[in-house]
Amino acid sequence: MPMSSYYRNLREKIGPMAIFNPSVAAIIRNHRGDILFQKPQGSVDVWSLPAGSIELGETPAMAVVREIYEETGLRVQPVAIRAVLGGDSFRFTYSDGNQVEYVVVIFACTVLSGELRYLDGESAELRYFSSGRRPSLALPYPEDIFREVIGPTWFEQT
């Protein structure tokens, strides 16, 4: 999905200056344990986890369910929080010059239903990669988040 009306209105007021962007990302595994990555439109060879912004009124868990469906066609259930990340290394400048500093809640998710397909036009490619062959990533996610989840975590579902 293109920029939400909330961020579009904000950008009209402040221009491209850096803003905090509360976001979510998902670690989704297939039956072999490979992890799903998304190559964004316009990207030469940089990939990301399926991810997106939290909209006003959404919990992070609601946002990850919505974003993953929009970007991948998969209906998912968040089962654990793998990390909450931010800071200097999570600053990003888009091709239009807009700057963000992400604060990202990364969920491990299980697939409930659906088939991989591009619904919102943001993905050029969706592909599962094995742990040892992950692609180059746009953001510096720590290695530990890609390990199998050990133990439950609690987070607000709705």
Least confident of 3-7, 40-44, 118-122: 118-122
C-alpha–C-alpha distance, residues 58 and 63, integer Å: 6
C-alpha–C-alpha distance, residues 152 and 79, integer Å: 8
Residue 150 burial by CB count (10 A; 0-12/13-18/19+): exposed, middle or buried?
exposed
Q: Give the whole-number percent of the chain exceeding pLDDT 70.
A: 92
C-alpha–C-alpha distance, residues 28 and 76, integer Å: 8
Distance of CA 145 to the CA centre of its chain: 13
For residue 10, the SS3 value is helix
Q: How confident is the model at residue 153 (pLDDT cuts 50, 70, 90)?
A: low
Length of the chain measured in residues: 158
Least confident of 26-30, 118-122, 151-155: 151-155
Is pLDDT at 138 greater than 90 in this prediction?
Answer: no
Please check whether residue 113 is in contact with residue 75, taking contact to mean a CB–CB distance below 8 angstroms: yes
Question: Where along the chain do its domains lie?
Answer: 5-138
Average pLDDT score over the chain: 88
Q: How confident is the model at residue 73 (pLDDT cuts 50, 70, 90)?
A: very high
The per-residue pLDDT for 147 is 81
For the entire predicted model, the pTM comes to: 0.87
Q: What is the mean pLDDT of residues 28-36?
A: 95
Q: What is the pLDDT of residues 8-17, one digit of tens each?
A: 899 999 999 9
The per-residue pLDDT for 149 is 61
Q: What's the CATH number for 5-138?
A: 3.90.79.10
C-alpha–C-alpha distance, residues 29 and 128, integer Å: 8
Is pLDDT at 155 greater than 60 in this prediction?
Answer: no
Is pLDDT at 144 greater than 60 in this prediction?
Answer: yes
